[in-house]
Amino acid sequence: MNSKAIPRLTFAQRLNTSTPRSLSLFLAFWFSICVGFLVGIFEYIFHREHTIWVPVFVLVFTFVLSFFLFQFAVERFIYRKIKLIYKNIHNLKLKKGQKLKSVDLNTDIISAVNKDVEAWAKDQKEEIEYLKNLENYRREFLGNVSHELKTPIFNIQGYIMTLLEGGLEDSSINRTYLERAEKSVERMVNIVEDLEIITQFESGQLILHKEKFDIIELARDTMSSIQYSAEKKNVKLFFKDSYDKPIYVKADKESVQKVISNLLVNSIKYSKQVGETKVSFYDMDENILVEVTDNGIGISQEHIPRLFERFYRVERSRSRDIGGTGLGLSIVKHIIEAHNQTVNVRSTLGIGTTFGFTLAKSR
């Protein structure tokens, strides 16, 4: 025997009045009881021969008649309007291609409407919050773009004005200023090209050409291409282990090279005076995990969630002095996600940072 006590339901809980029929029965029942009771009292007071059939007849007749009248009134003036509201809610919730389902008035429509209204209100609240965040992101993005482009534009303008005002004839500065203007133009071109790459990934216009290649060989070639920049900053680039055998992955080789290059360049920029950057590979069953670890200045935890946003900089003044478009990590994120893989970062301030991403193995 079940030891749990069965909760006792009240009369209101036992009686279901959520449909037109049940509500009409409820109202007709009590209305006929009241009428029958009054008729019974009238019969008892004013008639000497007391008969029970008159109150009973009136009670039954009143119940049947009032039931149909109540049902007609409830369906016509209450539930039809609720049904209309219910349909409107469904119309707002329907996605493209879906059809509006029929509404049965004999079901618990009030509870259904209540649930749908709550769900609809929750969805609307979440959508409003999403749109607000999107608007804030758009406003911040436009501000960042204008700020990033403003510096090279003003530099170019200053150099050209100096040359036009007589510097062009001065052999000691004309070439220097032209070279500086050329660097500012190159910076603008890099920003526009990086933005174009991100836009292509977001819109799905950039098609990945996946192929089988050795990720170790690609990483070694990438490290060799930026070895000069690393030596200028006294940063040592190396593999964590000696990888004698190739590790084959299936991905877009050119895009993956851009990912590794961006992560290595990023580690060099934010390295210490004498730094180290190591590249590691780990077998993750169906995927290969690639990690780029440095012993640089590190990143505080408050900045990590936003690291992959476009133009996001931990220290704007310091980052701008170092250089770069501020789009490298955002490009990394878009490339890896386009491969249906993941990218992550962990860092300790003053100790170093590790960026890791996965790629599918080549079978």
Of the two residues 236 and 4, the one the predictor is more confident about is 236
What is the pLDDT confidence band of residue 6, given thresholds at 50, 70 and 90?
very low
| 341-359 pLDDT per residue, tens | 999 999 988 889 999 999 9
- pLDDT at residue 64, rounded to an integer: 84
Host H or E run for residue 288 = strand 287-294
Q: Are 328 and 345 spatial neighbours (Cβ–Cβ below 8 Å)? A: no
Tokens of 167: 């510097």
Long-range contacts of 334-340 (CB under 8 A, 24+ apart): 334/197, 334/198, 334/201, 334/202, 335/201, 335/252, 335/255, 335/256, 335/258, 335/259, 336/259, 338/201, 338/206, 338/208, 338/255, 339/208, 339/210, 339/251, 339/252, 339/255
- pLDDT at residue 14, rounded to an integer: 44
Rounded-to-integer distance, Cα 43 and Cα 244, Å: 110
Out of 48-62, 95-109, 168-182, pick the least confident: 95-109
Buried b (16+ CB within 10 A) or exposed e, 247-277: bebebbbebbbbbbbbbbbbbbbbbbeebbb
Rounded-to-integer distance, Cα 152 and Cα 141, Å: 18
Q: What is the CATH number of domain 210-360?
A: 3.30.565.10
- pLDDT at residue 220, rounded to an integer: 93
The mean pLDDT of 111-121, rounded to a whole number, is 70
Tokens of 246: 């190739």
- 0.75 surpassed by pTM: no
3-class secondary-structure state, position 99: coil
Domain residue spans of the chain? 12-107, 140-203, 210-360
Rounded-to-integer distance, Cα 311 and Cα 330, Å: 8
Token pair 């360049």 in the structure block, residue: 265
| Amino acid residing at 334 | H
Q: Are 251 and 224 spatial neighbours (Cβ–Cβ below 8 Å)? A: no
- What does the radius of gyration of the chain's CA atoms come to, in whole angstroms? 38
Beta bridge partners, 357, equal 290, 343
| 295-333 pLDDT per residue, tens | 988 888 888 888 888 777 666 544 454 555 678 888 899
Integer CA distances (angstroms), 252 to 53, 207, 214, 266, in order: 92, 9, 12, 21
Report whether pLDDT(7) > 50: no
What is the pLDDT confidence band of residue 11, given thresholds at 50, 70 and 90?
very low
Among candidates 254, 222, 213, which has minimal Cα distance to 362? 213
Rounded-to-integer distance, Cα 128 and Cα 110, Å: 26
CATH of 140-203, one of 3.30.70.580, 3.40.50.2300, 1.10.287.130, 1.10.10.60: 1.10.287.130
- pLDDT at residue 361, rounded to an integer: 93
- pLDDT at residue 204, rounded to an integer: 73
Q: Are 144 and 306 spatial neighbours (Cβ–Cβ below 8 Å)? A: no
